[in-house]
Amino acid sequence: MPEKKLIAGAVIPIVVILGYSLLFHVDPFEILSLLPWYFLPAFFVAYFASNAIAAIRDSLIAEIDYWIALKARLLGNAVSLVIPGALGPDLTRALVYVNKGMKIEDALVYSFIVAFYDVVVGSVLYLAVLFVRPELLSLFYVMVALSNILYWLSVMGYIAGTAGSRMNRLEEFVFKRLQDYPEIMKAYQRAKEVTKSKTNPRIASFSALITVFEYAIQALPFYFIFHSYLYSLFVNQLYFVSLLVPVPAGAVSSEVALTSILPPLYAIGLRVLELIAYALGFVFIKEINFTRLQEEIRRYGKVPQRTQPRGVADPDKRDNKGC
């Protein structure tokens, strides 16, 4: 069943693009014949350069080697084509970190902090340049941007704000039922401390600045199409916000967003190029090692053993009498 869902996730964006191409009678690759020859190399250079800039922030936040951070980021983008949201790019980054020796609880919290800066800064930047071309459809993407900003600020603010303090009633209620797993409570408390330290004003200001620079570089090649950098940045940020809709690769959402402000040929052509750029990250798929992940999970104890009813022997510890 999981394999079928992954296959469906990978197929959905392709089917949507084919459907849009047939609907508008356009060839997704025809755009290449209408643009300067240097647009294509500029597009892919800008994509990798923007991720290279973001990887600087990622490596400093996660305190890992720069090249690991870059590979984790590119692979995370690729996986987002199949699995949206935290189960896609964020979890993928964490798995790469774990493969390089990081504890799983640290890897997860570092990955989510990285996502926090990406989403909040990217969404705020979209709202800041919305005046370039506001449309009726913009209301939907404004709501997507605002909901993501409020969600991430609320969650990260709560986690950082309660670091080092006593657990509230809700936390006590949850962890009372996990009292057989003290490692989980320790990981949760550590996550709060790490979040607080990585979102302090100095680090937050630097990380936000790096993130703005990341998006600014992404938008550069679009100048060859629109001849206005501000409009290019607007298109780039609208596309980013459209990907926040929780479907694989932002299928339908991103096509609708782009076709609302661009001719169908340009909208579908740019969408295909974006998908190709993201898919290139799959070359780093070997950076994920599930054996290493299993070793990390074992630190929390064998769940079957800990949930075994009292008085019932663990099958693994029975002697072999009668065998």
Give 240-247's long-range contacts (Cβ < 8 A, gap of 24+): 240/122, 240/123, 240/126, 240/215, 241/122, 241/123, 241/126, 241/141, 241/144, 241/145, 242/141, 242/144, 243/80, 244/119, 244/123, 244/144, 244/145, 244/148, 245/144, 246/84, 246/85, 247/12, 247/84
Residue 215 and residue 169: Cα distance in Å, rounded? 41
Residue 320, pLDDT above cutoff 90: no
Q: Do residues 12 and 202 touch, judged by C-beta distance below 8 A?
A: no
Residue 220, pLDDT above cutoff 70: yes
At residue 316 the predicted structure's pLDDT band, cuts being 50, 70 and 90, is very low
43-57, 170-184, 230-244, 276-290: range with lowest mean pLDDT = 170-184
Average pLDDT over residues 259-283: 91
pLDDT at 21: 79
108-165 pLDDT, tens per residue? Answer: 999 999 999 999 999 999 999 999 998 888 899 999 999 999 999 999 998 888 887 7
Q: How far is CA 303 from the centre of its chain?
A: 29
pLDDT at 300: 61
Residue with tokens 């199409």: 225
pLDDT at 77: 93
Rg over CA atoms, the chain: 22
pLDDT at 304: 41
Residue 65, pLDDT above cutoff 60: yes
At residue 10 the predicted structure's pLDDT band, cuts being 50, 70 and 90, is low
User: What tokens does 62 get?
Assistant: 């996660």
The count of residues in the chain is 323
The per-residue pLDDT of the chain, averaged, comes to: 84
| Percent of the chain residues past pLDDT 90, beyond the cut | 47
User: What tokens does 66 get?
Assistant: 């720069």
pLDDT at 246: 83
Report how far apart the first and last C-alpha atoms of the chain are (Å, whole number): 36
